[in-house]
């Protein structure tokens, strides 16, 4: 029986490719950046689909990127591939002082907060907005700036929603040609209030143990499935959604909702 492949085998292969393949030899940390992002998104798609074969393959692609960067750094004399593994072990032991050192259990964010000069230190600037909001709130919670339970964030959502409604009452949205909202000072004020509402919603999700970006991802998929059902029903009748009008669209939506019970969220209100 053939011996199982190890990470050392993968490292040896990467070193060989760097020595004998022109494309692999030409790569740099900078040139590989787009591939890392792409592979991470493909892994995320596989995880969303809960497809084990795809997850295995995409994990391999992400591992390729990790090893690629490690070998390039090794060639530069910056650090060795084993140093990457050592950094992982060191970090995970530090995150669990109650398991590896006789310390007390503590939240990772609290431990990290003692080493940061600012709440934004080390937080990638390109994080999606929902994820960034969640991480900022996590970090604030790490120094004790947090609600004790989900009730506080829930009330904050109500408060922010009331402010949005007040803004809309006092400064109704004005539209130009084609129904496009006019971007003026009133629009910017509304944008700020809506941003506060979204931030509060993220905080409520966080305190409830739900990641807002994952919740929204599920809602997006739900809405898309139901809307596609509407499209299929209209097509089967020789109709186009754009020609039906809102009342008929609502009827189709309710029909799609009944057929796909438990799989959708309504864009016009639930």
152 and 228 in a single domain? The answer is: no
Residue 107, domain member (yes or no):
no
pTM of the shown model: 0.72
Residue 118, domain member (yes or no):
no
Residue 1, domain member (yes or no):
no
74 and 88 in a single domain? The answer is: yes
pLDDT digits (tens, 9 = 90+) for 215-248: 999 999 999 999 999 999 999 999 999 999 999 9
Residue 87 sits in a domain of what CATH number? Answer: 1.10.287.1080
- Predicted confidence (pLDDT) at residue 145 exceeds the cutoff of 50: yes
- Predicted confidence (pLDDT) at residue 262 exceeds the cutoff of 70: no
Expressed as residue numbers, the domain containing 240 is: 213-259
Q: Tally the domains of the chain.
A: 3
Per-residue pLDDT band at 131 (split at 50, 70, 90): very high
Phi, psi for 64 (deg, rounded to 5): -55, -45
So what's the pLDDT on residue 263?
46
């Amino acid at each position: 029986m053939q011996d199982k492949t190890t990470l050392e085998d993968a490292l040896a292969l990467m070193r060989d490719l760097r020595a004998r393949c022109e494309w692999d030899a030409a790569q740099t940390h900078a040139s590989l950046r787009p591939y890392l992002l792409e592979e991470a998104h493909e892994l995320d798609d596989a995880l969303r689909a809960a497809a084990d074969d795809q997850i295995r393959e995409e994990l391999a692609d992400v591992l390729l990127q990790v090893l690629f960067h490690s070998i390039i750094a090794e060639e530069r004399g910056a650090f060795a591939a084993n140093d990457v593994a050592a950094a992982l072990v060191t970090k995970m032991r530090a995150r669990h002082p109650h398991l590896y050192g006789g310390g007390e259990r503590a939240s990772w964010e609290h431990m990290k907060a003692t080493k940061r000069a600012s709440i934004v230190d080390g937080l990638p600037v390109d994080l999606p907005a929902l994820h960034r909001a969640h991480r900022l709130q996590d970090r604030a919670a790490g120094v004790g700036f947090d609600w004790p339970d989900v009730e506080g964030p829930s009330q904050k959502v109500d408060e922010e929603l009331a402010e949005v409604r007040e803004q809309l009452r006092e400064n109704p949205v004005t539209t130009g040609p084609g129904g496009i909202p006019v971007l003026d000072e009133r629009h910017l004020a509304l944008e700020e209030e809506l941003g506060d509402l979204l931030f509060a919603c993220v905080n409520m999700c966080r305190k409830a143990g739900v990641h807002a970006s994952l919740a929204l991802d599920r809602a997006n998929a739900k809405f898309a499935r139901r809307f596609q059902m509407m499209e299929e029903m209209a097509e089967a009748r020789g109709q186009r959604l754009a020609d039906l009008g809102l009342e008929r669209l609502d009827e189709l939506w309710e029909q799609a909702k009944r057929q796909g019970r438990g799989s959708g969220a309504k864009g016009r209100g639930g």
